[in-house]
Amino acid sequence: MGECTLDHYPEQGAERVGGISLNFAVNARRAGAEEVALISCTGTDAGGELIPGWLTRAGVCTAQLHQLPGRTASQIIHLAAGGERIFPPGGYDPGVLAEFRLDENDLACIRDADVVAVPVFKELAHLVDAVGYDSARRGLLVGDLLDGADLGPDLRGIDPLLGAYDLLFLSGDLATVERLFPRSERSGTMLVITHGAEGSTALLNGYRNAEPAVLVPSEERVDTTGCGDAFQAAFVVEYFRHRDVPAALRAGAARAAQVIRHLGATADAS
């Protein structure tokens, strides 16, 4: 549940379907999830024409994909050396997502799901809160905290989320792991910190698991956009099936290594 966007690459003169939640949904299907639905909203522009059909071809249910008058959310992306994506200041436009609200059918879908994955950032707080506070929800609740920029000093903003979410993802370094490790001992929430090319670490109940990234030769690294979303999707699919944390970390790394080889977060058909 969350966002779908049109991603614009000015230097490449290219446009791709993207957005955190859409990327997660598509990569969950490609990682083997049997049924995936995206709860989000497009506008009545080119995105509203492109995204529904694209998701259907990717095997993602669009019954909860709404359309409102206006612009589909969009993101400008610049690419640096090694395909490293850069989101420029002011490059994100939430478009119709700013006005989108969940209806009863959306909430029913969320309550019935085995896993609900949401991006936790301020532009979508009005949607995320509606999911987190729904006591009738039965499945695993998974949150993406991005790079933690909205969490404040010492990542204190994560504390109210611990215990409310079953699994939280955060991009960070080894210092982030050490800062969060004491919280993981008492929360019951699994924390997965991704380190890009340095691998990933999972924290749960005072235990930590670390796995390396899958090495991708520099000449094959095209675009890091959505690598984290792909990692999360494959991790969740594997973890839900087998509750094997190291295997889930490896599955996430393998999926991210596929995505980095293509322009756009969901361009490959593998």
Pairing of strands 85-86, 78-79: antiparallel
Structure tokens at 51: 């995204």
DSSP 224: -
Characterize 207-220 residue by residue with b for buried, 16 or more Cβ atoms within 10 angstroms of its Cβ, and e for exposed: ebbbbebbebeeee
Provide the terminal-to-terminal Cα distance of the chain, rounded to the nearest Å: 23
Sign of the Cα pseudo-torsion (243, 245, 250, 251, in order): positive
pLDDT for res 269: 42
Nearest to 98 by CA among 212, 2, 242: 2
Residue with tokens 């995105």: 47
| Residue 3 and residue 119 in contact, taking contact as beta carbons nearer than 8 Å | yes
Look up the CATH architecture of domain 5-259: 3-Layer(aba) Sandwich (3.40)
Structure tokens at 107: 């909430």
User: Helical H runs in the chain?
Assistant: 20-30, 46-57, 104-112, 125-132, 174-187, 227-242, 245-259
pLDDT for res 266: 85
| Residue 117 and residue 232 in contact, taking contact as beta carbons nearer than 8 Å | yes
pLDDT for res 270: 40
Structure tokens at 132: 């987190």
Q: What letter represents residue 232's amino acid?
A: Q
pLDDT for res 268: 53
Q: Exposed, middle or buried: residue 67 (CB in 10 Å: 0-12, 13-18, 19+)?
A: middle
3-state secondary structure of 259: helix
| Residue 29 and residue 36 in contact, taking contact as beta carbons nearer than 8 Å | yes
Map out the domains of the chain as residue ranges. 5-259
Structure tokens at 39: 């709860």
pLDDT for res 137: 81
Characterize 233-242 residue by residue with b for buried, 16 or more Cβ atoms within 10 angstroms of its Cβ, and e for exposed: bbbbbbbbee
Q: How many CA atoms lie within 13 A of 126 on its CB side?
A: 10
Degrees, nearest 5: CA angle 20-228-169: 85
Instruction: Kindly list the averaged pLDDT for each block of 10 residues, start to end, along the chain of length 270.
Output: 96 96 97 97 96 95 98 97 95 96 95 96 90 81 95 93 95 96 91 97 95 96 97 98 97 97 76
